[in-house]
Amino acid sequence: MKKTIYSLLLLCSIMSSVSAQNSKVKPGDDFYHYVNKAWLDTAKNPTLSLKIIAERTHQQLLNVIKNNAQNKQLIKGSPEAKLADLYNSGIDTTVIEKRGLTPLLNIFDRIDKIKNSDEFFNLLAKLHTEGHQHLLGVGVIQDEKNSAYNILSLSQDGLTIMPSSLYTLEGEIFDKIRNNYKQYIKKLFELIGYSTENAKNIANDIYEFDKELASSFKSNHDLTYSSESTYNKMSVYELEKLTPNIRWSTLFKIMNIKTRQVIVETPNFYQNLNALKETKDLEIWKNKLKSRIILNKTTALPFAFRDALAGLRSVFGGEKTHIPRTEDLLDVFNGDLLGKLYVKEYFNEETKIKVEAMCANIKEAFKKRLENNKWLTTETKNKALQKLNSLTFKIGYPKKINTYEGLVVQPNLFFENTSNRRAYSFKLDVNTIDKKADKNVWAGALAQTVNAFYAPSDNAVVVPAGILQEPIFNTNDNEAKLYGSIGYIIAHELTHGFDNSGRKYNDKGNLEDWWTDKDETSFNERCEGIKIQYAKYEVLDSLYINGEQTLSENIADLGGLSIAYDAYKLTRTGKENSKDFDKQFFISFARVWAEKLTEQQLKNLIRNDSHAPSQLRVNGVLTNFTPFYDLFNLDKSDKLYKEEKDRISIW
């Protein structure tokens, strides 16, 4: 492992300092390729920095879980012993093959005995408590207008393949995806004893059902960035008026949910579900539920089911490949406890202390930018500063984790163990409804997560241990490199608290309109400039970036670079005003996004991703950043050049 890390460190050091010298591209024409061309020309794998880290972290986690499972000194009933028992029950494929369909039969028997749609929905609710969640979309979130408390939420659920646009997009690749989907469902029903003809008809019925459900799905972009449209708070009585065919009060009672209010994130979906409850044939409901249970339990079933899933995935990868069983198991058991063991083995407090110091610098840099802001009124500026002052950073790992207390694990019963674990998590979540939110618990991330994010309801930037690795972070790197890579990423996430979506949350993490009309207009004018700029980028023939879809991330990219650069200038190295060090900052920034994509991957990204392609996450930002112009001596002959009056600055 040390050799691997050293090799990556050496590679990054060489690429950061030499690739630009070897490049024939002018920095003012295309800085992304000026920095990354040598790597792009020779790289065999389309590996982005974050993907390098993700692959390494994956192997580290496998090492942790295997070593824990082989530890003979574990105390029976301890959290670590339960994790070991979970893993060992899953690695024993002989027992899984021998049990065959047996674990499914009891559930399927209950499904087959259903006589009407009310009974079906009651069973859906009961299965939620047993670790088989489907269709109802039950969850627990922080109330976005009272973030100190948790609240029950309902959000769209039930599709076999995502995003929902896959059911309607035109093109050969999408036809293949839909065909593979039908072939996969057909294979599942053949494996559980149906004739080929019956299985084919069932697959077509389920596909059409999913297509009807997908028609009422919100896009991932809308779910993520349109908080006002997803905040639909209502009483259970009002929910039942919205969907009169679904007896929610009965379903909540079955699920042991005691509450009088709920956030319905996607009302259209539930109105659609309400209509389908009365119009869709009961047998199709039953078969859809069976297919979803099989899909969710693939790892706990015989190899034939895993082989069928590999066939479904083949259209994305180009060939039928099987994910190693250990990786499947890692996906099943990845949680807080594994994160605790991971941190103990692969993370150190020196890193945490160094990153916390960087965060303080980044916060100070943004404070100065806000204080010097010329387009905000004093009223809104003061509230922005108040929000920034209240913002916290969560670095490395959560203070509080789930330790499996009360979870039952049974030797050799992997299917039941995975169900018990999901049921256990569901019960824990349900028990927090209408109670104070625990700020020490991380929602949506683990210590081993290879990412960073802004949590609007907590008004916090979360930087897990997983991302704090080479080539993004090395504690021995100079400050120019550190602030150009991990510093930029942290500042990017900080900016999300003040982007077109995050700005709508106040200092306490509550949805609130705290802007004056004048400031909102000024902000939107600047956002419009960003949208127009990116919408002009033609990535492939007649395929342009969606300026609206990528707006939030483009704002954060520009703000993140601006804040990180100012924070770097607060450091000892930055104060030297050395052109060599300053250039390392920009080179380090460009290296973060070095990746190779196929044409199809690029098309998928343009259609579905809220981020611009990597090249434009570099070049698009730099066209607006004057310190880059000054350092690399850009003039009107350079392709990235913009007149100073046209350069956009938001934060």
Rounded to the nearest integer, the mean pLDDT of the chain is 92
Q: Give the phi and the psi of residue 273 in degrees, each rounded to 5.
A: -60, -40
The verdict on pTM exceeding 0.85 is yes
One-letter identity of residue 453: F
Say if residue 651's pLDDT is above 80: yes
CB-CB contact of 231 with 121 (8 Å) = no
Residues 274-280: what's their mean pLDDT? Answer: 96
- 7 band by pLDDT with thresholds 50, 70 and 90: very low
- 46 band by pLDDT with thresholds 50, 70 and 90: low
- 303 band by pLDDT with thresholds 50, 70 and 90: very high
pLDDT of residue 536: 96
Instruction: Give the percent of the chain with pLDDT over 70.
Output: 95
CB atoms within 10 A of CB 476: 7
Say if residue 43's pLDDT is above 80: no
Calpha distance 396→344 (Å, rounded): 11
CB-CB contact of 53 with 466 (8 Å) = yes
Calpha distance 447→467 (Å, rounded): 9
- 162 band by pLDDT with thresholds 50, 70 and 90: confident
What is the third-level CATH fold of 101-178+216-293+406-435? Neutral endopeptidase; domain 2 (1.10.1380)
CB atoms within 10 A of CB 572: 8
Give Cα 449 to chain centroid, integer Å: 10
| Selection from 171, 202, 180 nearest residue 603 by Cα | 171
Say if residue 261's pLDDT is above 90: yes
Rg over CA atoms, the chain:
26
pLDDT of residue 4: 28
Give the chain's length: 651
Say if residue 111's pLDDT is above 50: yes
Residues 629-638: what's their mean pLDDT? Answer: 97
Calpha distance 204→182 (Å, rounded): 6
pLDDT of residue 10: 29
- 44 band by pLDDT with thresholds 50, 70 and 90: confident
| Selection from 508, 555, 498, 557 nearest residue 528 by Cα | 555
What is the arrangement of strands in the sheet containing 261-264, beginning at the earlier edge strand? Answer: 138-143, 146-154, 261-264, 233-235
Instruction: Give the percent of the chain with pLDDT over 90.
Output: 80
Tell me, letter by letter, the H, E, C secondary structure of 546-598: CCCCCHHHHHHHHHHHHHHHHHHCCCHHHHCCCHHHHHHHHHHHHHHCCCCCC
Identify the sign of the CA torsion 266, 267, 268, 274.
Answer: positive
What separation in angstroms does the CA of 163 have from each of 160, 244, 511?
A: 9, 28, 27
pLDDT of residue 224: 81
Say if residue 260's pLDDT is above 80: yes
How far apart, in Å, do the first and last CA atoms of the chain sit? 40
pLDDT digits (tens, 9 = 90+) for 408-443: 999 889 999 999 999 999 999 999 999 999 988 898
pLDDT digits (tens, 9 = 90+) for 515-538: 999 999 999 999 999 999 999 999
CB-CB contact of 188 with 205 (8 Å) = no
Better-predicted residue by pLDDT, 50 or 360: 360
Better-predicted residue by pLDDT, 464 or 10: 464
pLDDT digits (tens, 9 = 90+) for 48-96: 788 889 999 999 999 999 999 999 999 999 999 999 999 999 999 999 9
Asked if omega into 46 is within 30° of 0 (cis), the reply is no
Residues 164-173: what's their mean pLDDT? Answer: 85
pLDDT of residue 20: 44
pLDDT of residue 177: 87
Calpha distance 604→285 (Å, rounded): 31
Say if residue 170's pLDDT is above 90: no
One-letter identity of residue 540: L
Lowest mean pLDDT among 17-31, 231-245, 290-304, 526-540: 17-31
The per-residue b/e assignment along 343-377, b for 16 or more CB within 10 angstroms, e otherwise, is: beebbeeebbebbeebbebbbebbeebbeebeebe
